[in-house]
Amino acid sequence: MIIPMTRVQIVGHKQDMDATLRELQRLACVQLLDATQVHPGMHGYALAAEQKEIETLNYLLARLHALLALLPPLPDETPEPWDQKGLIESIQAELDAQAGELEALAQERQQLLNDAEVLPSYADTLSKLMPLTPVLTQLRDYETVAVLLNNPAAGLMDTLAAEMQEIAGPLSELVWDQVDPDHIGALLIFPREAAPKMNTLLGRLQVNPIALPESLRNVSFQDALVHIYQRLEEIPRRLKAIDVQLQESARTYRARWLGAARALNRRLEQLRARKHLAETQHTFVLVGWLPRDQLEPLRQTLEARLPQALVVDELLPTPEEAWDAPVLLTGNRFTRSFHFFIRLLSIPRYGALDPTALMALFMPLFFGLMLGDIGYGLTLLIIVLWARRRMAPGSGMRDLMTFLLFGSLWTIFFGFVFGEFFGNLGHLMLGLHPLWMERSDPDALAPLLLFTIALGGMHIMLGLALGIWQAWHLHQRHELWERAGKLVGLIGLFLLAGVVARQLPRGWMTPAAATVIVGLAMLIHGLGSVGALLAPVELLGVLGNILSYLRLAAIGLASVYLALVGNLMAGKIGVIWIGILIAVLFHTLNLAMGAFSPSIHALRLHYVEFFTKFYEEGGQPFHPFGGPDPFAS
């Protein structure tokens, strides 16, 4: 449900403003509003005096965030509390003393990781070039370029040698050979003044030189290779030493700096909150939304902890103002997890209906109806219980697991209804019989389809009834007539279908037709000038929404037939262990599809068919001043 909200106004002396903001931040129950919009004649609070402190806080928070990212997290770390008095000076001095060493360690560690990644490729390349000239060093006035080419490039060597002679004359040299079955190694030696033209030549021929690190460019290949192997041998030891140093620093500083970051962030939040205030020469005015049942506790707390001169009043919002109130959803343990699916779409506007409870009922029911197998339900239940215990409370994945938990229970229920245990395995081995119908029986198709249509009709009519109530409550006259017309017309269509199917007496034909006509008239009135054209289309659209619920039967039949095929194939195999393997593979695939596809279609039936009949989306979530900050975890 949506928690009822109201507005609170707090008026006090400016000298008590900081204490008031700190207390509201601690209570975290008021979402601040721009007070000048509520009182247009008042001036907004000027933040010019606080601007320098805001810039300093932002700078320190950025430094703290960067340094905390360098330190490895510790298990069960608790931020240390900091007193805001002298906080900026203390943390700034501490960061100045420690930042340089930590940044140097982190930079060295990153360089070591980079070297560990790239140096093996250099070592491999140099090892292949060693047979050409193991002791060659850079000559004083000459450039030496090494290249490694694939075998098909052997014909390129003659072209490269000829063009080198044109550019550098007899003072150039090209040495090349087959260094392994797949590669050709080459050394190009030429005067330094010819380097620009040689680079152009290599680029034109698409020959990429081997670019060694800067520290290895003026030594022989043999010395470079020795240096690389020494470096690779040294890297693990040095990385371990740096990690030990960073771990020590984390034990010393992480909890302190997390606490400092939290304190700095809370102070910054207090300063930024001032832009929502209005002021006179001696007083400040604060206005905000809060849950109505928290108004009196807030007043009592502020009166007990702050000066009596502080005035706390309720400002009752007008209907138009209440329409823009923030939304705070609540529910019991059963429904709270389904807020996840509401937030995937958009939370409802304040004053509208919260469909969470209905979603918590129907979505698992639809899931269970589609899967409808005791064996699949039990298997899914065990998997979900195991996975759910390993997920953080309040996370989206845990909410999804909660839905699958209830869905698996409905799956077991409908498994008994349809008499299915891994398809017909329960009937063959356990003598299991359906309580109502066997879905795989061709004679059961018509009753199953009629059942899903009836379920869909009931769901859609419930949505229209909720839409009528909400339109009445929100004084939406056109929506009221439109939804009422759809509901009445739909009832008339069901009556006509009953007469045509000979389930109702023929004497009901005239009242049924009259009901459809009345529904169309109401729909035309609700749609306005284009109602005469759109009313029949809209009514047929609602009928199409109901027919969409046939997917509950279709997906269920696909699941049961796939299970039957798996059992049939397993039974045809003469070797028992191969038959068991085939059955396990089929049922695993069917269960995976059965967990995914029914979830998507159950969600679609709510979003597209059900919610469109009453749901007013576009609400803004409730974000109280002093709520969770980015350093809280």
- Beta strands across the sheet bearing 173-180: 142-150, 183-191, 173-180
Range(s) for CATH 3.30.70.2750 in the chain? 138-218
Q: Is 277 helix (H, G, I), strand (E, B) or coil?
A: coil
CA-to-CA separations, 29 to 93, 291, 293, 347, 535, in angstroms, rounded: 35, 8, 11, 20, 47
- Pairwise CA distance, residues 420 & 378, whole Å: 12
- Pairwise CA distance, residues 100 & 346, whole Å: 47
Residues with Cβ within 8 Å of 40's Cβ and at least 6 positions away in sequence, in order, are none
- The sign of the CA dihedral 163, 197, 151, 120 is positive
Residues with Cβ within 8 Å of 547's Cβ and at least 6 positions away in sequence, in order, are 453, 456
- Pairwise CA distance, residues 32 & 444, whole Å: 60
**Burial of residue 217 (number of CB atoms within 10 Å: 0-12, 13-18, 19+):** exposed
- The sign of the CA dihedral 92, 96, 101, 104 is positive
Q: What is the pLDDT of residues 567-626, one digit of tens each?
A: 888 888 877 888 889 889 999 999 999 999 999 999 999 999 999 999 998 899 999 999
Q: Phi-psi category of 169—alpha, beta or left, where left has phi over 0 and alpha has psi -120 to 50?
A: left
pLDDT at residue 377, rounded to an integer: 96
Q: Which contiguous run of DSSP H or E holds residue 9? A: strand 5-13
What DSSP character marks residue 422?
Answer: T
- At the top level of CATH, the class of 7-45+277-326 is alpha beta
In sequence order, the β-bridge partners of residue 142 are 191
* Residue ranges in the chain modelled with pLDDT below 50: 135, 629-633
- Pairwise CA distance, residues 620 & 617, whole Å: 9
pLDDT at residue 133, rounded to an integer: 61
In this structure, how many other beta carbons lie within 10 angstroms of the beta carbon of residue 157? 15
To the question of domain 138-218 being in CATH 3.30.70.2750, the answer is yes
pLDDT at residue 138, rounded to an integer: 52
Interstrand relation of 5-13 and 311-315 (parallel, antiparallel or unpaired): antiparallel
b/e code 446-475 from CB counts within 10 Å (16+ = b): eebbebbbebbbebbbbbbebbbebbeebe
pLDDT at residue 452, rounded to an integer: 96
349 within 8 A of 327, measured Cβ to Cβ: yes
Q: How many CA atoms lie within 13 A of 511 on its CB side?
A: 10
- Euclidean distance between the first and final Cα of the chain, in Å? 28
